[in-house]
Amino acid sequence: MKPPRCKRRLRARLLLEDGTRIEGCGFGATGVRVGEVVFTTNMVGYPEALTDPSFRGQILVYTHPMVGNYGVPDPRIKVHGIPAHYESDRIQVEGFIVTEETVPHHWASVKTLHEWLRESNVPGMSRVDTRALVKRLREKGVMMGVLAVYEEGEEPDWEELREVLEKSPRYDDIRYAELVSPTEPITHKPEGIEAKYHVAMLDCGVKYGILRNLLSRGFQVTRYPCNTPPEKLVDGYDGVVLSNGPGNPALLEKQIEIVRGLLEYRVPILAICLGNQLLALAHGAKIFKLKYGHRGPNKPVVDVTTGHCYITTQNHGYAIDAKSLEGTGLHVWFINPDDKTVEGLRHEKLPIVSTQFHPEASPGPWDTTWVFELYSKVIENSRG
Ligand SMILES: NC(=O)CC[C@H](N)C(=O)O
């Protein structure tokens, strides 16, 4: 097939681990990046997805065909001192692949998607049949890939790209959480409302949406580096939040040990996504890798205690082995009715609220934000 015509004289090549070669146009920065190629069924919400620290180390493919329509919002717009439309202070993905990168028309846009990626030094690829690419990832599973964006006439050799890919470490073997965790404690106070609770957070790469949800419900939050010992997280706090975060949870022995330590203090815990996985691992349960993950804002979960179904936002590539939970004290709370995997946990004795999905959504539906209110009730009850 002939390569597409490209604007800005920027072209792109994607080589997958299985040898698949895809030619497209480039946008954003020029350069070569290696990552795990994953897809999301988000329709909008690209500012949130691109800045979600849980996407660190991954090349993100959008299934929705047009991306960029509403441009890029102003990061200076804040709620409780946190950017309202972003999930962290930078683009986290290694690369971005879309069918069509569009010209924005929106009153709140301050730049185009192309400009944002360019100044962030992140390459983007467009004019690609993302349906064919996603089908391949769905059938073969997510795989490593190398994305090259270059000026017309400077195309990299496919063989060179294959060598780059072969020499690069694999996504599953890198402790990404340590790369996105803060180096010093950071405290966020709710603005304009009273702080009713003060929680410590083991921050393995928290999404700002989780902070916004906690702050707007009267939680003061102190974020700690992800290697902070449990003793520091319990004294003077009403509870501990285990954040979301990127990468293979089974590599995080230190964090699993910290969570095991926290359990001994019987503190009220809210765990989200990576936090949910660390909680399970700390109880001796097992994790496995999903073939192509759950990434998108339209993922159903069923509360097995009530039979109620909710539509949730999810972004995870690993899942908890339900059988391995037997005898740990943790019980399955939610399952994904599509593949029956575990989507949330409660403990038979300890004050724990834990979800694999994202109750803060961002982007996505707000149907499960009540999880944050449930956590405040758990704190109230544990105060006695
Ligand atoms: N969003 C998250 O916290 C992701 C958790 C973990 N890195 C996974 O992919 O399963």
Q: Give yes or no for residue 252 CB within 6 A of ligand 1.
A: no
> Which ipTM value was assigned to this complex?
0.97
Residues 135 and 19 in one domain: yes
Residues 312 and 342 in one domain: yes
Sign of the Cα pseudo-torsion (279, 281, 284, 289, in order): positive
Residues 128 and 241 in one domain: no
Q: Which of 143, 172, 201 is the endpoint of a domain?
A: 172
Q: 353 near 378, Cβ under 8 Å?
A: yes
Best of 277, 288, 336, 357 to mutate for ligand 1, by most ligand atoms within 8 A of CB? 277
Q: Helices (H), strands (E): how many in the chain?
A: 10, 21
Residues 186 and 134 in one domain: no
| Short-list 246, 241, 363, 376, CA closest to 312 | 363
Binding residues for L-glutamine: 54, 245, 247, 274, 277, 315, 317-318
Residues 183 and 152 in one domain: no
CATH number of the domain within which 301 lies: 3.40.50.880
Residues 185 and 53 in one domain: no
Residues 215 and 308 in one domain: yes
Q: 113 near 72, Cβ under 8 Å?
A: yes
Any domain includes 209: yes
pLDDT for res 91:
98
Q: Which of 121, 141, 172 is the endpoint of a domain?
A: 172
pLDDT for res 3:
74
CB-side neighbour CA atoms (13 Å) of 272? 33
Residues 138 and 189 in one domain: no
Residues 60 and 189 in one domain: no
pLDDT for res 1:
62
Residues 166 and 283 in one domain: no
Q: Is 383 exposed, middle or buried (0-12, 13-18, 19+ CB in 10 A)?
A: exposed
Å from CA of 144 to ligand 1 middle: 17
Helices 274-282 and 253-264: crossing angle in degrees, nearest 10, is 70
Backbone phi, psi, residue 293, to 5°: 75, 175
> Could you tell me the residue range of the domain that residue 94 belongs to?
7-172
Q: Is 328 exposed, middle or buried (0-12, 13-18, 19+ CB in 10 A)?
A: middle
Tally the domains of the chain.
Answer: 2
Q: Give yes or no for residue 71 CB within 6 A of ligand 1.
A: no
Any domain includes 1: no
Q: Is 364 exposed, middle or buried (0-12, 13-18, 19+ CB in 10 A)?
A: buried
Residues 119 and 221 in one domain: no
Atom of ligand 1 at shortest distance to CA of 319? Answer: 10
Q: Give yes or no for residue 247 CB within 6 A of ligand 1.
A: yes
Q: Which of 149, 172, 195 is the endpoint of a domain?
A: 172
Best of 56, 259, 313, 315 to mutate for ligand 1, by most ligand atoms within 8 A of CB? 315
Q: Give yes or no for residue 316 CB within 6 A of ligand 1.
A: yes
Among all residues, which ones are annotated catalytic?
273, 358, 360
Give the Å distances, CA to CA, from 248 to 166, 242, 317, 326, 371. 20, 15, 8, 22, 25
CATH number of the domain within which 155 lies: 3.50.30.20
Q: pLDDT digit of tens for each residue in the chain (384 aa)?
A: 667 889 899 999 999 999 999 999 999 999 999 999 999 999 999 999 999 999 999 999 999 999 999 999 999 999 999 999 999 999 999 999 999 999 999 999 999 999 999 999 999 999 999 999 999 999 999 999 999 999 999 999 999 999 999 999 999 999 999 999 999 999 999 999 999 999 999 999 999 999 999 999 999 999 999 999 999 999 999 999 999 999 999 999 999 999 999 999 999 999 999 999 999 999 999 999 999 999 999 999 999 999 999 999 999 999 999 999 999 999 999 999 999 999 999 999 999 999 999 999 999 999 999 999 999 999 999 987
